[in-house]
């Protein structure tokens, strides 16, 4: 593709060299550059990509998109200066991959919790309704049946557009994706055309990156600010920031709620460990999910499907056949008559919600033993609050390691324990080794009890000092139960 074509949606401040050159690839990482590529230099959180321009040219880059025009220029290379390479990267990448979002019905989900659940359920639902679909999510990316491992919630703009391009080639009509706050702030989704956006909720997370809650909220809001007039914006009326999210959007706003008047409403009729009976917009439906927050998630799915033109009856019939997403309130039954639940709750709010969901079902008939930790090299402030939330709603708590990353596991545990007073500490033991912690919980549990293993959900690794060691909470539980 000609460089000139690729620059169609960007406003170059200066161009040095020929724009009538063929570009065979677009890259933001010099290490991946091949002959004929366009290298986009971005100012990152760790390094300034501009310093890799010579490296990219050495590897064959024919053109460079930059924010700062380098003094020394290589012969035969075209230099294009723009005000914001982060924004330009997505716009260029999407054109290079055939502008896929304009050939798909693309729906994005943002918010602190529930993104994976909602995006995955929409993907499962629309496939069951006979459509070809793609999914971009924390757990895994999919192009129809083909699984493509995910290392981000939202891939970088190059991979993101490449994946969307492959979805179009595979004949997909719909794509459902998670839009993380990092991805929105870093403009990974720049240049994409969304048919709709969904807001789940907003609670404390990622303050290590966004610094303040307001910045974090505004990052999420920027997604709705950027939606076109043709799109829908579905928001959670039960969340304090639900209406803030959509206050400046051009999209058609719809609300969902389990507590008040809204465009899409639901209420719980009955709940047990196998599922719930709901009233959704006046229709009764049985679903294989538990927890109030899942009613909100299901409503968001229902609302989006309605906005995408599906009939209420068809949506609800399909909804009743869907089951829990990997590592989200996923039960593992012990032979001794207690239930272990693996869940990805890794924020104070998610932990509190999961525990109250378990209480709603348990109804005082058993004890709750919680095993949880907090990730290393992430928000330190959430650690003591997570410990408090765990203690508040559990009978016993085992504080352990999550992904320590580059931090000392014991130091993370100490940060968590610092949130507890003497009285609360009586319920708590700290065991650094996660497997030992899970084993200990299993030894404590009696018939009828529930063990919540929180924080890692679907993850099949534990990241220690840059190395991912195989570790899978569900597998550990099965191992213990079969021993
Ligand atoms: C903090 C953060 O989000 N960082 C992301 C960011 O990298 P960065 O700004 O730190 O990049 P950098 O290392 O400073 O490098 C700057 C530029 O130089 C380039 N470079 C670098 C080295 C080199 O040799 N050559 C070269 O060209 C890099 O490719 C980059 O373009 O941009 C990169 C490309 O998009 C991301 O891969 C990277 O994700 C890091 C690995 C990460 O861990 N991100 C997490 C926190 C994240 O994004 N999480 C969210 C989900 C969170 C949630 O909601 O739970 C996600 O969407 O996954
Ligand atoms: N609507 C919700 N409200 C509050 N908590 C939720 C909600 N949905 C899910 N959770 C909790 O949050 C955890 C993460 O859910 P999910 O993976 O769907 O969210 P996510 O937004 O994709 O998270 P991440 O940002 O880590 O990718 C679940 O394991 C559950 O504990
Ligand atoms: N997407 C989130 C996932 C956190 C999961 C938890 N297990 C942890 O490692 O902290 C993050 O990267 O912050
Ligand atoms: Mg997710």
SS in 3 state form for 131-157? CCEEEECCCEEEECCEEEECCCCCCCH
Residue 256 to residue 207: CA distance in whole angstroms: 27
Residue 368 to residue 450: CA distance in whole angstroms: 5
Q: Is the CB of 422 under 6 A from ligand 1?
A: no
Q: Max Cα separation, the chain?
A: 76
Residue 73 to residue 459: CA distance in whole angstroms: 45
* Among protein residues, the one whose CA lies closest to atom 15 of ligand 2: 114
Beta-strand ranges (E) seen in 312-449 are: 330-333, 339-343, 368-372, 396-399, 428-430
Task: Find out whether 402 is annotated in a ligand binding site.
Answer: yes
Contact 113, 201 (CB under 8 A): yes
- pLDDT given for residue 471 in this prediction: 98
Residue 394 tokens, joined: 């559990």
Residue 351 tokens, joined: 């932990």
Task: Please state the atom number of ligand 1 nearest to the C-alpha of residue 56.
Answer: 27
Q: Is the CB of 158 under 6 A from ligand 2?
A: no
Task: Please state the atom number of ligand 2 nearest to the C-alpha of residue 112.
Answer: 21
- Looking from the CA of 132 toward its CB, the CA atoms found within 13 Å total 14
DSSP string, 52-70: GHHHHHHTT--EEEESS--
- Order of strands across the sheet that contains 63-66: 14-16, 78-81, 63-66, 37-40, 25-27
Q: Is the CB of 46 under 6 A from ligand 1?
A: yes
> Phi and psi (nearest 5°) for 189?
-95, 10
Ligand 3 centroid to Cα of residue 189, in Å, is 21
Residue 373 to residue 402: CA distance in whole angstroms: 5
Contact 416, 409 (CB under 8 A): no
Q: In angstroms, what CA-CA distances link 189 with 5, 126, 146, 164, 248?
A: 20, 23, 22, 11, 19
- pLDDT given for residue 23 in this prediction: 98
Tens digit of pLDDT at every position of the chain (483 positions): 999 999 999 999 999 999 999 999 999 999 999 999 999 999 999 999 999 999 999 999 999 999 999 999 999 999 999 999 999 999 999 999 999 999 999 999 999 999 999 999 999 999 999 999 999 999 999 999 999 999 999 999 999 999 999 999 999 999 999 999 999 999 999 999 999 999 999 987 777 777 887 888 888 999 999 999 999 999 999 999 999 999 999 999 999 999 999 999 999 999 877 789 999 999 999 999 988 899 999 999 999 999 999 999 999 999 999 988 889 998 899 999 999 999 999 999 999 999 999 998 888 999 999 999 999 999 999 999 999 999 999 999 999 999 999 999 999 999 999 999 999 999 999 999 999 999 999 999 999 999 999 999 999 999 999 999 999 999 999 999 999
Contact 200, 118 (CB under 8 A): yes
- pLDDT given for residue 290 in this prediction: 85
Residue 225 to residue 237: CA distance in whole angstroms: 18
The number of helices, as runs of H, and strands, as runs of E, in the chain is 17, 24
* Among protein residues, the one whose CA lies closest to atom 9 of ligand 3: 375
Q: Is the CB of 153 under 6 A from ligand 2?
A: yes
Task: Find out whether 30 is annotated in a ligand binding site.
Answer: yes
Q: Is the CB of 143 under 6 A from ligand 2?
A: no
Q: Which helix (H) or strand (E) holds 362?
A: helix 348-362
Task: Please state the atom number of ligand 3 nearest to the C-alpha of residue 455.
Answer: 7
Task: Please state the atom number of ligand 2 nearest to the C-alpha of residue 300.
Answer: 1
Residue 261 tokens, joined: 């008047």
Contact 232, 251 (CB under 8 A): yes
- pLDDT given for residue 331 in this prediction: 87
CA angle 284, 289, 291 (to 5 degrees): 95
- pLDDT given for residue 272 in this prediction: 79
Task: Find out whether 113 is annotated in a ligand binding site.
Answer: yes
Q: Is the CB of 382 under 6 A from ligand 3?
A: no
Residue 350 to residue 110: CA distance in whole angstroms: 15
Q: Is the CB of 350 under 6 A from ligand 1?
A: no
Residue 446 to residue 444: CA distance in whole angstroms: 7
Q: Is the CB of 375 under 6 A from ligand 3?
A: yes
Q: Is the CB of 379 under 6 A from ligand 1?
A: no
Q: In angstroms, what CA-CA distances link 354 with 330, 342, 402, 444?
A: 11, 10, 17, 20
Task: Find out whether 404 is annotated in a ligand binding site.
Answer: yes
Ligand 3 centroid to Cα of residue 349, in Å, is 14
For residues 294, 299, 302, 307, the Cα torsion angle rounded to the nearest 10 degrees is -140
- pLDDT given for residue 211 in this prediction: 82
Beta bridge partners of 469: 462
389 burial level (CB within 10 Å; 0-12, 13-18, 19+): buried
> Which ligand gives the minimal distance to the CA of 383?
3
101: nearest Cα among 1, 18, 188: 188
Residue 406 to residue 200: CA distance in whole angstroms: 31
234: nearest Cα among 123, 122, 380: 122
* Among protein residues, the one whose CA lies closest to atom 1 of ligand 3: 153
For residues 139, 141, 147, 151, the Cα torsion angle rounded to the nearest 10 degrees is -60
- pLDDT given for residue 246 in this prediction: 98
Ligand 1 pocket test, candidate residues 39, 40, 43, 47, most atoms within 8 A of CB: 47
Q: Is the CB of 343 under 6 A from ligand 2?
A: yes
Residue 259 to residue 268: CA distance in whole angstroms: 11
Q: Which helix (H) or strand (E) holds 8?
A: none
61 burial level (CB within 10 Å; 0-12, 13-18, 19+): buried
């Amino acid at each position: 593709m000609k460089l000139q074509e690729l620059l169609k949606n960007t406003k170059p401040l200066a161009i040095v060299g020929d724009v009538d050159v063929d570009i065979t690839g677009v890259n933001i990482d010099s290490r991946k550059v091949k002959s004929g590529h366009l290298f986009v230099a971005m100012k990152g959180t760790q390094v300034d990509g501009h310093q890799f321009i010579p490296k990219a040219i050495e590897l064959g880059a024919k053109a460079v998109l930059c924010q700062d025009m380098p003094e020394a220029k290589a012969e035969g290379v075209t230099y294009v200066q723009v005000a914001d390479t982060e924004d330009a990267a997505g716009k260029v990448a999407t054109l290079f991959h055939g502008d896929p979002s304009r050939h798909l019905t693309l729906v994005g989900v943002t918010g602190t919790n529930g993104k994976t659940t909602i995006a995955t359920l929409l993907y499962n639902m629309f496939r069951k309704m006979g459509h070809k679909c793609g999914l971009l999510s924390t757990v895994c990316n999919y192009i129809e049946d083909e699984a493509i491992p995910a290392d981000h919630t939202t891939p970088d703009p190059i991979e993101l557009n490449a994946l969307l391009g492959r979805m179009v080639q595979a004949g997909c009509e719909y794509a459902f994706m998670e839009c993380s706050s990092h991805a929105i702030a870093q403009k990974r989704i720049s240049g994409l055309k969304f048919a709709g956006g969904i807001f789940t909720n907003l609670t404390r997370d990622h303050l290590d990156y966004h610094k303040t809650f307001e910045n974090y909220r505004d990052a999420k809001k920027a997604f709705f600010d950027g939606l076109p007039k043709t799109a829908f914006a579905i928001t959670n009326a039960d969340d304090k920031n639900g209406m803030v999210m959509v206050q400046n959007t051009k999209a058609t706003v719809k609300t969902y709620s389990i507590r008040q008047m809204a465009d899409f409403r639901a209420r719980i009729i009955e709940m047990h460990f196998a599922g719930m009976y709901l009233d959704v917009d006046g229709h009764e439906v049985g679903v294989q999910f538990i927890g109030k927050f899942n009613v909100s998630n299901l409503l968001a799915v229902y609302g989006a499907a309605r906005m995408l033109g599906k009939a209420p009856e068809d949506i609800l019939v399909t909804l009743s056949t869907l089951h829990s997403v990997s590592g989200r309130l996923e039960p593992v039954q012990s032979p001794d008559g207690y239930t272990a639940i693996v869940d990805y709750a890794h924020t104070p709010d998610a932990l509190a919600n999961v525990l109250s969901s378990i209480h709603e079902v348990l109804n005082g008939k058993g004890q709750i033993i919680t095993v949880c930790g907090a990730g290393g090299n992430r928000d330190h402030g959430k650690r003591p609050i997570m410990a408090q939330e765990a203690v508040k709603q559990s009978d016993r708590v085992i504080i352990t390691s999550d992904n320590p990353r580059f931090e000392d596991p014991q130091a993370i545990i100490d940060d968590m324990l610092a949130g507890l007073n003497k009285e609360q500490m009586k319920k708590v033991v700290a065991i650094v080794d996660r497997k030992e912690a899970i084993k200990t919980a299993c030894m404590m549990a009696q018939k009828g009890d529930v063990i919540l293993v929180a924080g890692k959900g679907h993850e099949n690794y534990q990241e220690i000092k840059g190395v991912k060691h195989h570790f899978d909470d569900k597998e550990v539980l099965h191992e213990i139960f079969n021993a």
